[in-house]
């Protein structure tokens, strides 16, 4: 019995770009000896936090006055509402995008990933302009990646 597997060029390019992104990610190289030893367990000493000292605020009493001072109306100042979450635009690295893309490839979504790359006008993840990382990460998340 003979089995033939065909892989198109777009898939090959995606795999190569993913491999290149992972190799330049700055992650430490894992040796065969480390793999055989299993995961290393790191223990941290517990950190004890100091409780801030409680300070009492002096009480201020107001004394009524006879003289009235004209008050100028100022435009209302917008105050932060309690419980409001400040929003900051998330920035992503090539490493984060590559990891998310590898999740999709592991889930069998290679064709969709290649199509997404082509929507951004690139053939490889490494060719994606940094200004588009956020939008690309959103699309990866929509496809099911955890990023």
- Domain borders along the chain are 107-146
Give DSSP secondary structure letters for 95-144: HHHHHHHHHHHHTT-HHHHHHHHHHTT-SSGGGS-GGGHHHHHHHHHHTT
Place of tokens 């590898």: 102
Residue scoring higher pLDDT (129 or 84) = 129
- Does position 18 have pLDDT exceeding 80, yes or no? no
pTM of the model: 0.44
Residue 10 pLDDT: 73
Confidence of residue 81 (pLDDT cuts 50, 70, 90): low
Locate tokens 């109306």: which residue?
73
Mean pLDDT over 3-16 rounds to 75
**pLDDT band (50, 70, 90) for residue 131:** very high
């Amino acid at each position: 019995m003979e089995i033939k597997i065909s892989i198109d060029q777009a898939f090959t390019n995606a795999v190569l770009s993913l491999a290149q992104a992972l190799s330049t990610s700055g992650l430490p190289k894992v040796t065969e000896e480390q793999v055989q030893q299993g995961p290393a367990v790191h223990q941290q000493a517990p950190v004890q936090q100091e409780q801030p000292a409680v300070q009492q605020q002096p009480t201020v009493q107001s004394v009524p006055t006879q003289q009235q001072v004209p008050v100028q109306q100022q435009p209302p100042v917008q105050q932060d509402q309690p419980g409001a979450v400040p929003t900051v635009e998330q920035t992503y690295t090539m490493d984060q995008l590559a990891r998310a893309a590898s999740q999709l490839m592991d889930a069998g979504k290679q064709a969709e990933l290649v199509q997404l790359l082509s929507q951004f006008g690139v053939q490889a993840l490494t060719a994606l302009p940094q200004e588009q990382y956020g939008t690309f990460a959103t699309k990866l998340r929509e496809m099911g990646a955890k990023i």
